[in-house]
Structure 1
Amino acid sequence: MSNHACVIFDLDGTLADTKQGIVRGFQYAAKEMGFAYLPQYENSIIGPSLIDSFRHLYGLPEEEAREAVRHYRAYYYKQGMFEYSLYNGIEDLIKTLRKEGRTLAVATTKYQKYALLMLENSRLIAYFDCVAGSMEDGSRAGKKELLKVVMEQTAYSAQQCIMIGDKHYDGEGAACYKMDFIWAKYGYGNEEEMREIPITFVAENVKGLYRYFALGT
């Protein structure tokens, strides 16, 4: 049974299946930039910063990558952020953890304003004490920085927290603080990228999270 006082969730691929909106945003941006869309990399674009994704996939210089990000956001803000579904059982899990008295937080590389809008739309926002997303000025772009924000705002140490995420970026961020980490294997990550990540527990699905926290299902 977990005795962590603060449970920190990634958003994309952990709380919600957001792939459709993200993929369509990339498709729109690629079309506007005159590039071919690369469907074989769909899972890899979920998790890292958008500018890094465009730079790595298309070999773009920074200014062109920023232009691509602007096109992506034009689509995402209007429509893409609402093209998602919560994973089955997540809402009840969040409510149950909250009833237990746990502090709940979100650490996501998604822009802060988009993360807040999505959580408001899903009606989960009321259960979270802290939502840490990346900022439009380029700050708080990595999980290490985001987890630091959560710990500062909640006043919990790394040893009192546990991070739940689906990508190696989540695990790397947690490892920076020797924080326990649950791999949400049901998301967009894969075993290859998680090979060298210190993992406390592997959740094959949301029911696995229930088991880890010793909650009824």
Structure 2
Amino acid sequence: MTTDESIETRTAQPAASLPPRAVSLPHGTGIAPFTAVLWDLDGTISDSAAGIIDAMRRTYDTLRMPIPNDATLRSYVGPPIIDTFREQGLDDAIELTHALETYREIYNEEGLLASPQFPGVGDIIRELHAAGMPQSTATSKPEEAATRVLVAYGLASQFDFITGATADESRSEKADVVAEALARLRGQGVDLSNVLMIGDRFYDVEGSGVHGVPATYVTWGYGRLGEEAGAVAVVTTPAELRSVLGLPQ
């Protein structure tokens, strides 16, 4: 299999959208109107793959480690970076810390703010905010980096909370980030009876599901066929996401 064929296989997405299905979970039905919305960042709001992949490639080179092929590097967009390094055999705490610091220095200098928004998604976030919808990110990106990206997009003020990984990666798994986002919203008195998670990877679907939050899967991100399993809806365009959220077209 060539590299291009591998990329195509890994990034194949559902060919069609799936309308919302009703569920009965502790924090949601999957059907609008919702009481709060959680957003993934990379692959959902931010088209960040190119910057992350380039930074990962340069990090491996700096650490004198074998550089994975493009398809493998692309699969690393979404999950916690620390898990990626562990998969590559960096189990020692000092090695992990050095790898994380190297990656972040490279990425923060060149890749972080070079990533464009996916067209139309920012408009949805703004409309939800204007309608009074409580919103938080639930991203495995460190909070400081996520905040910088959303400030650059002009979207930071549209969120009640920017919730993500901690700087030391002690909170980086999606389920842990979702738990923190829910706790922050709950502390603000937000009704959590019908929350929706929006994301592009199975980490979003599974991580939110741990806490009884249904997820809508978007196909413009970096997942591959099958990662939508368990989502209450699959959308292929922002217009379809608007419909799921009950926003006017």
TM interval, short-chain normalised: over 0.9
Matching residue of 1:214: 246
Where in structure 2 are the equivalents of 1:196-207 lying within 5 Å? 198-207=230-239
Measured in 2, the distance between the counterparts of 1:159 and 1:144 equals 18
Tell which deviates more after alignment, 148-157 or 76-85.
148-157
After TM superposition, the runs of 4+ consecutive aligned structure 1 residues lying more than 4 A away are none
Measured in 2, the distance between the counterparts of 1:184 and 1:165 equals 6
Does the aligned pair in 1 maintain the 2:82–2:169 contact within 8 Å?
no
Measured in 1, the distance between the counterparts of 2:216 and 2:227 equals 14
Does the aligned pair in 2 maintain the 1:158–1:178 contact within 8 Å?
no
Measured in 2, the distance between the counterparts of 1:43 and 1:189 equals 9
Q: 1:150 aligns with which of 177, 181, 195?
A: 181
Q: 2:45 aligns with which of 15, 30, 43?
A: 15
Letter in 1 for 2:53: V
Q: 1:174 aligns with which of 208, 214, 231?
A: 208
Matching residue of 2:54: 24
Matching residue of 2:89: 59
Letter in 2 for 1:92: D
Tell me by how many angstroms 1:214 deviates. Answer: 2.7
Measured in 2, the distance between the counterparts of 1:19 and 1:137 equals 22
- Deviation track 1:77-125 (CA, whole Å, cap 9, x = no partner) reads 2121112111110121111111221111101110111011111111100
> Are 1:159 and 2:190 counterparts?
no
Q: Specify which structure has the higher proportion of strand.
A: 1
Tell which deviates more after alignment, 30-39 or 161-170.
30-39
> Are 1:118 and 2:155 counterparts?
no
Larger of the two Rg values belongs to structure: 2
Instruction: Give SS of 1:110's match.
Output: coil
Tell me by how many angstroms 1:76 deviates. Answer: 1.2
Q: Give the gaps of 5 or more residues in structure 1.
A: none
- Deviation track 1:112-169 (CA, whole Å, cap 9, x = no partner) reads 1101111111110010001111112332211111111111111146532110011111
Q: 1:174 to 1:6 in 2, by over 3 A?
A: same
Measured in 2, the distance between the counterparts of 1:54 and 1:143 equals 17
Matching residue of 2:137: 106
Measured in 2, the distance between the counterparts of 1:49 and 1:98 equals 28
Q: CA RMSD in A?
A: 1.6
Q: 1:151 to 1:157 in 2, by over 3 A?
A: farther
Higher relative contact order, structure no. (Cα contacts within 8 Å, ≥ 6 residues apart): 2
Does the aligned pair in 2 maintain the 1:98–1:104 contact within 8 Å?
yes
TM-score scaled by length of structure 1: 0.92
TM-score scaled by length of structure 2: 0.81
Instruction: Give SS of 1:194's match.
Output: coil
Q: Give the gaps of 5 or more residues in structure 2.
A: 1-30
Measured in 2, the distance between the counterparts of 1:120 and 1:184 equals 23
- Deviation track 1:163-203 (CA, whole Å, cap 9, x = no partner) reads 001111111111112211100121111123333xx211101
Does the aligned pair in 2 maintain the 1:166–1:183 contact within 8 Å?
yes
Letter in 1 for 2:166: M
Instruction: Give SS of 1:183's match.
Output: strand
Tell me by how many angstroms 1:43 deviates. Answer: 2.4
Letter in 2 for 1:36: P
